[in-house]
Amino acid sequence: MSQAETAAEIRPAATILLLRDEPSFEVLMVKRHHQIDFASGALVFPGGKTHAGDHDPAWAEHVRGWDEIEPEQRPLRIAAIREAFEEAGILVGERRDGAPLTEVCDLEVREAVDAGRLPFLDVVRDLGARLSLDALTVFARWITPPIVPKRFDTWFYAARAPEGQLAACDGRETVDAEWIPPGEALRLAHVGERTVIFPTRMNLQLLGEARSAADAVARAGGRELVTVLPRVESRPEGRVLVLPPNAGYGEVAEPLERVM
């Protein structure tokens, strides 16, 4: 292992698969801006690194499910919800009286949160809302292998999308937001009409085994969580990236040249 590999910091991150059943079983995906240094131009689920504000203990009064969620999971779930808010304008939460959130903040507020000028906690407090941490179900966990210069320990969560909220890209990190059936996203990637990075493609395949949003969440909740740390193997056909066979993705040996 090279010095660069051993020195690479593994940063915690969170991603959310927002699901709906109308007009069909679909997941929300966003297209990354081409100038972003990671996965530029790719179709991905909303997500990103955790921030210091995601760890603020004051969140205890502004979320649902605080006591039921493990302490180490709380900031990750807050980060996943924050990223969906910043990148797509969707806020997984409810008003403090339990009423649904149908109108969320405008683009300027989302940009201020993304830029760090406005704490996400203040936005939620001012909305008179609370985040629904208990609405998220762990879907997968992936750790970037040492061959990649930027490494992340990414938790994927599945959740039913709140009704009445419209998805809209932020125009900064994302340039498009669309609801798409998992199989259609894979088809578009296969024919070259969309760029889908390897972990996203694997999780789209896993998601595509479900028949509905409820089925996808139930499958995720019933699946044993196996952390995916891909490893490189040299085979007669060349170097391939291999996933743990018990992680739910089947036998995967991806040629390195196809991994983005």
Tracing tokens 């149908």 back to the chain, one arrives at: 102
CATH number at residue 214: 3.90.79.10
Is there a domain that residue 175 lies in? yes
42: left (phi over 0), alpha (psi -120 to 50) or beta: beta
Question: For residue 220, what are its two tokens?
Answer: 């995720």
On whether the CB atoms of residues 80 and 99 are closer than 8 A, the answer is: no
Domains identified in the chain, total number: 1
Question: For residue 105, what are its two tokens?
Answer: 């903040």
Instruction: Fill in the amino acid letter for 24.
Output: S
Domain that holds residue 178: 3-224
Give the model's pLDDT for residue 1: 43
Is there a domain that residue 233 lies in? no
Tracing tokens 């969309």 back to the chain, one arrives at: 194
Question: For residue 193, what are its two tokens?
Answer: 């009409």
The Cα 175–Cα 169 span in angstroms is 6
Is there a domain that residue 154 lies in? yes
- Phi, psi at 9, each rounded to 5°: -80, 135
Helices 182-190 & 198-207, crossing angle to 10 degrees? 140
Give the model's pLDDT for residue 5: 44
Is there a domain that residue 158 lies in? yes
Is there a domain that residue 209 lies in? yes
Give the model's pLDDT for residue 147: 85
Is there a domain that residue 239 lies in? no
Give the model's pLDDT for residue 104: 83
E-strand stretches of 38-150 = 43-44, 47-49, 63-64, 93-95, 129-132, 137-143
The Cα 183–Cα 205 span in angstroms is 7
What are the pLDDT digits (tens) for 19-38? 999 999 999 999 875 545 54
Give the model's pLDDT for residue 4: 44
- Phi, psi at 122, each rounded to 5°: -65, -35
Is there a domain that residue 237 lies in? no
Strand partners, 117: none
The Cα 176–Cα 185 span in angstroms is 14
**Positions in the chain short of pLDDT 70:** 1-7, 33-41, 170-175, 260
On whether the CB atoms of residues 216 and 207 are closer than 8 A, the answer is: yes
- Which pTM was predicted? 0.92
- Which contiguous run of DSSP H or E holds residue 252? none
**Percent residues over pLDDT 90 in the chain:** 77
Is there a domain that residue 165 lies in? yes
20: left (phi over 0), alpha (psi -120 to 50) or beta: beta
Give the model's pLDDT for residue 258: 81
